[in-house]
């Protein structure tokens, strides 16, 4: 008997708990700014900027998003779904979308890898309200500390948008050597453990961030040139994440031009550490 009562009681608790979860402005004001900031940097900043004077990257700039119609930014090429939407973004709307990225707006092309967990959403949305100019709540003092100069912190914390952009997406190269008649494409995956994988079977390598904050990497087993190369660039150069087929060009040796760019996402075999198909 007691078991049955407990079961009924437990079943009744569920809807009550979720009904209390509505995002009131009072609750959002009390949310944790720093947690929201970290969540935005980790989950959103590879594709979105927030500040008034920033541009669109893979996703639209979100300044004043909470007073604009969904899909309403002139400069951005939205999916049909967003372009046809006729509601203004509110905290509750965004909350519902982030809880169910595919289901809430079927056909949208945002493509985040997973729903944002409930425990993160209020902090994230509160941070966004502040940083997109919707409210003028004060930011906590700690938000101004410059994490970038604190070298005791891991690179994932010092350079979160660089980290997320490079460690979870595909770096695509084109090796161009006109004199040797070489025009060769390969994909590189920088792994969080410092190793480098590629879609080319024998190609591998490693990377480090040195004491001057240069990202340096070495590749070997390349089917072109002398078969290996080393290259460094300042982490700051990658601080504004963008996706494009060709974003930079370097000259690793002789007359070779090496074009590099970043494509969103990675094939599944990379994540499980398997060999290229």
Which residues contact ligand HEC by CB under 6 A?
43-44, 46-48, 58-60, 62, 65, 70-73, 78-79, 81-82, 89, 94, 98, 108-112, 116, 264
Closer to ligand HEC by CB, 59 or 160: give it.
Answer: 59
Closer to ligand HEC by CB, 81 or 148: give it.
Answer: 81
**Cα separations (Å) of 113 from 96, 116, 169, 180, 243?**
16, 9, 12, 41, 16
Q: State in angstroms the smallest separation of the CB of 108 from ligand HEC.
A: 3
Element (H, E) at 17: helix 2-19
Place of tokens 């599944």: 268
Q: State in angstroms the smallest separation of the CB of 111 from ligand HEC.
A: 5
Closer to ligand HEC by CB, 93 or 259: give it.
Answer: 93
Q: State in angstroms the smallest separation of the CB of 22 from ligand HEC.
A: 18
Q: Is 182 helix (H, G, I), strand (E, B) or coil?
A: strand
Report how far residue 6's alpha carbon sits from residue 17's, in angstroms, rounded to the nearest whole number.
16
Closer to ligand HEC by CB, 81 or 199: give it.
Answer: 81
Q: How many CB atoms lie within 10 A of CB 86?
A: 8
Element (H, E) at 232: strand 228-234
Tokens of 17: 């708990």
Closer to ligand HEC by CB, 61 or 200: give it.
Answer: 61
Report how far residue 255's alpha carbon sits from residue 265's, in angstroms, rounded to the nearest whole number.
31
Q: State in angstroms the smallest separation of the CB of 147 from ligand HEC.
A: 20
Q: State in angstroms the smallest separation of the CB of 166 from ligand HEC.
A: 14
Closer to ligand HEC by CB, 62 or 258: give it.
Answer: 62
- DSSP characters over 52-110: TT---SSS---TTGGGSBTT--TTS---HHHHH---B--HHHHHHHHHSTTTSSTT---
The answer to whether 140 and 36 are in contact (CB under 8 A) is: no
Q: State in angstroms the smallest separation of the CB of 116 from ligand HEC.
A: 5
Closer to ligand HEC by CB, 95 or 222: give it.
Answer: 95
DSSP 223: S
Q: State in angstroms the smallest separation of the CB of 179 from ligand HEC.
A: 38
Q: State in angstroms the smallest separation of the CB of 73 from ligand HEC.
A: 5
Q: How many CA atoms lie within 13 A of 165 on its CB side?
A: 22
Closer to ligand HEC by CB, 66 or 175: give it.
Answer: 66
């Amino acid at each position: 008997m007691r078991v049955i009562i407990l079961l009924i009681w437990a079943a009744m608790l569920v809807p009550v708990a979720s009904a209390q979860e509505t995002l009131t402005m009072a609750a959002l004001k009390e949310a944790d700014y720093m947690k929201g900031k970290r969540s935005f940097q980790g989950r959103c900043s590879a594709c979105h900027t927030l500040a008034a004077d920033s541009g669109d990257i893979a996703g639209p700039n979100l300044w004043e998003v909470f007073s604009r119609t969904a899909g309403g930014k002139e400069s951005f090429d939205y999916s049909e779904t967003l372009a046809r939407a006729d509601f203004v973004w509110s905290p509750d709307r965004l909350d519902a979308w982030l809880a169910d990225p595919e289901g809430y707006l079927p056909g949208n092309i945002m493509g985040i890898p997973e729903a944002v967990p409930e425990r993160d959403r209020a902090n994230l949305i509160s941070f966004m309200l502040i940083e997109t100019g919707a409210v003028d709540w004060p930011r906590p003092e700690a938000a101004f500390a410059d994490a970038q100069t604190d070298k005791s912190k891991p690179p994932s914390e010092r350079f979160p948008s660089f980290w997320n952009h490079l460690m979870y997406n595909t770096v695509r190269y084109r090796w161009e050597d006109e004199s040797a008649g070489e025009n060769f494409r390969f994909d590189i995956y920088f792994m969080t453990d410092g190793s480098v994988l590629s879609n080319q079977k024998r190609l591998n390598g490693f990377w480090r961030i040195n004491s001057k904050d240069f990202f340096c990497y070495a590749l070997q087993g390349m089917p072109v040139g002398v078969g290996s190369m080393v290259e460094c660039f300042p982490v700051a150069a990658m601080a504004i994440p963008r996706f494009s087929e060709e974003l930079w060009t370097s000259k690793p040796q002789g007359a070779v031009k090496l074009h590099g760019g970043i494509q969103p996402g990675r094939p599944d075999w990379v994540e499980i550490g398997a060999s290229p198909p």
